[in-house]
Chains A and B, each alone.
Chain A
Amino acid sequence: MTPPAPRVFRKVLVANRGEIAIRVCRTLREMTIPSVSVYSDADRGSPHVRAADQSARIGPAAPADSYLNAPAILEAARAAGADAIHPGYGFLSQSASFARACGEAGVTFIGPSPQAMERLGDKESSRRAAVRCGVPVIPGAEDVPDADRALAEAKRIGFPVLLKAAGGGGGRGMRRVAAADALASEFESARREAVAAFGNGRIFVEKLVHPARHVEIQVLGDGNNAVAFGERECSLQRRYQKVLEESPSTAVTPKVRAAMERAAVALARDAGYAGAATVEFLLAEDGTFYFLEVNTRLQVEHPVTEMRFGLDLVRAQIEIAAGGPLPKPAAPRGHAIEARLNAEDPYQGYLPQAGTILALTFPEGEGIRVDAGIAAGQTIQTHYDSLLAKIVAHGATREEARVRLERALSEMALLGVRTNQRFLLDLLADDAFRTGATYTHTLESRSWPAPVGVPDEVLIAAGVALFGAREAAALERDDADRYSPWGTLGGWGRGAPPVPGSSRSAP
């Protein structure tokens, strides 16, 4: 039987913001499909708005009024004549009701069917699917109604336990509880967070596996069949948010990889899954692994898989949604590492940071990919996720990728908002990362001090910036001074395009 010819979408609306919206628009442009971006009032001037061929306002700054506002997004799609919606990650990407509403509005949701999403996206239902498919799961209890019941279940399973929001994603709404006395207050906090973040207050209690690595398998399904594209290790996390991700994992043997891929493919096939999904596992030291959850969408860290497999996962999502065939996995090549640049202060409890980006330059060069959603002059607010950019390095070996990522992060400069850039460099240089001794508790089990001591040259630069305005003319460099290898760096300055390919053009 030959598959039906892929239907080319007339126009695709990207229902997201920041780096992922820009990244999806790039693929749409390469596929010569016109794109529509959407924005809240807070994002009117944000780079993702300019990345698409046209754009539409969808509401006030609060996510519930804009990027989670399904009627406004569907209306924007209708008004723009878009016949498909790419949801990115977060926001409505895992909302079965949104996927259903798209279908009712005659718009293709680029992602799984609402049924497959419900089956695998919900933690409890995906856990039942895992059990049915013979995939090992962590001991736990589903849908715990109150703190008393949570305590009883926790005692049965044994402390420490994890409290998880049934509707959560990206690690949000998860809490670790070491002992019985802290359980009640943590349960109430977890529930409040779950209601606020996901509109769903159901909580799940499970045993904490320790020490553990977070390893996930990328799969693509076409509704009948599914294929796996290796693993990503994302053990380095703070507050359950990933910081560095890599592929392959130093801890995954060919045998473990094959078993994990079989499990992930079985789950996708069982659900009749069409689109991209990530099946997350906890890997224990002895090589046993436990099913965690399925993310029924594109992951933030998908570029490490793309760089190794030479594959565009967004393109694959679009083609699958249009009825096209699954791509065939090529042999993976080399090693890729991604660093997440966040607007946060790692030396003060990772507090989210706000401010206006005064100056910005991105790294370039061999083996470096930058997926960013920021530009000089842009004001970073705390309405949304703190992710500013992803810097990804690919190398023939892990060490080559590691050194390359260090080089790239050292080249980068972002002024005006505190970020975790130095922290990322410290992590990459740390023995734990160099030796691959990366566990989910690694970041939180140690203190990561702020850099101490300010170099004299830095003070001179600060002084020149403060006092040197009058003298600035005298300091202007002439060409004879072009001694620095940095002189060739481009992409600098206020008002410069944030990313290549983001300029407007006619559809």
Chain B
Amino acid sequence: MSRALQLRYRNETIEAALSLQGRSAALERDGRRLETTVARDGAWIEVRSGDRVRRCAVARGGRGVWVAVEGTTYFFEVEQREAGARGAAASADEIRAPMTGRVVTVAAVPGTEAREGDLLLTIEAMKMEFKLTAPEDGAVLEVACAPGDRVELGQLLVRLKPTAANGGGA
């Protein structure tokens, strides 16, 4: 039985096919095939191909799966095929909270122009301030937070309409 594996690791989308049959696991990826035998020991999965054994710690959690091997830890989000493009929103820059924290100051004003690098707002977490700046020139469409707000990782804070997209971006 072969299953499609579509995972997102940081900014990279990985597509592969995995066949699992008893202890045999075969991966097809980018035109190559790796045949292995796998064994599970608690939270560890040992993947053996020939003489080489890689011992991986695994856990499912959140929207994906965690794998640690030899000091490197990967978090893979399970990709969900999006139904249709995001349309108009695709031409706007969404500034999202890079961490859970508190909004300290808001410099962005809806209806004004921001230049690349302009300060939009500052967030504080663990007693450290982080500045969020405009990734490119654009018009501030929306400011979705106020000083003092508590914001969650990934929460929308500011929307920008990039100047470069005016008059015909994709």
Check B82 for interface membership: any CB of A closer than 8 A.
Answer: no
Contact B5–A413 (Cβ < 8 Å):
no
Cβ contact of B43, chosen from A352, A359, A467, A471, cutoff 8 A: A359
User: In the complex the two chains form, is B67's CB within 8 Å of A461's CB?
Assistant: yes
Contact residues of A: prevailing secondary structure: mixed
Which listed segment binds B: A45-53, A76-84, A219-227, A447-455?
A447-455
* Min C-beta distance of A77 to chain B, whole Å: 26
B88 within 8 A of A: no
Residues of A within 8 A of B128 (CB): 172, 193, 239, 352
The answer to whether the Cβ of A410 comes within 8 Å of any Cβ in the partner chain is: yes
Q: How far is the CA of A288 from the CA of B42 in the complex (A)?
A: 55
Smallest CB-CB separation from B100: which chain A residue? A382
Contact A197 B127 (CB under 8 A): yes
Q: Which residues of B (1-51) have their CB < 8 Å from a CB of A?
A: 3, 5, 7, 9-10, 12, 14, 16, 18, 20, 22-23, 25, 27, 29, 34, 36, 38-47, 49
Nearest A residue to B19 by beta-carbon distance?
A: A463
Contact of B74 among A462, A484, A486 (CB under 8 A): A462
> Does A416 touch B at the CB level, under 8 Å?
yes
Is A462 touching B5 in the complex (CB atoms < 8 A)? Answer: yes
Of B52-60, B108-116, B135-143, the one contacting chain A is B52-60
A351 touches B99 (CB 8 A): yes
Q: Across the interface, which residues of A come within 8 angstroms of B74, CB to CB? A: 454, 458, 462
How big is chain B's contact interface, by range? 35 or more
Interface residues of A in 457-503 (CB under 8 A from B): 457-468, 471-472, 474-477, 481, 483-484, 486-487, 492-493
Chain A residues with CB under 8 A of B104: 192
With A425-B71, A486-B55 already in contact, the answer to whether A358 and B66 are too (CB < 8 A) is yes
- The total of Cβ contacts below 8 Å across the A-B interface reads 197
Contacts of B61 in A (CB 8 A): 355-356, 358, 415-416
- Number of A residues whose C-beta is below 8 Å from B? 66
Q: How far is the CA of A418 from the CA of B36 in the complex (A)?
A: 28
Binding site for A on B (CB under 8 A): 3, 5, 7, 9-10, 12, 14, 16, 18, 20, 22-23, 25, 27, 29, 34, 36, 38-47, 49, 53-62, 65-76, 78, 98-101, 104, 122, 124-130, 153
**What is A's interface to B at a CB cutoff of 8 Å?**
172, 189, 192-193, 196-197, 239, 347-349, 351-356, 358-359, 361, 382, 384-386, 409-416, 418-419, 421-422, 425, 450-451, 454-468, 471-472, 474-477, 481, 483-484, 486-487, 492-493
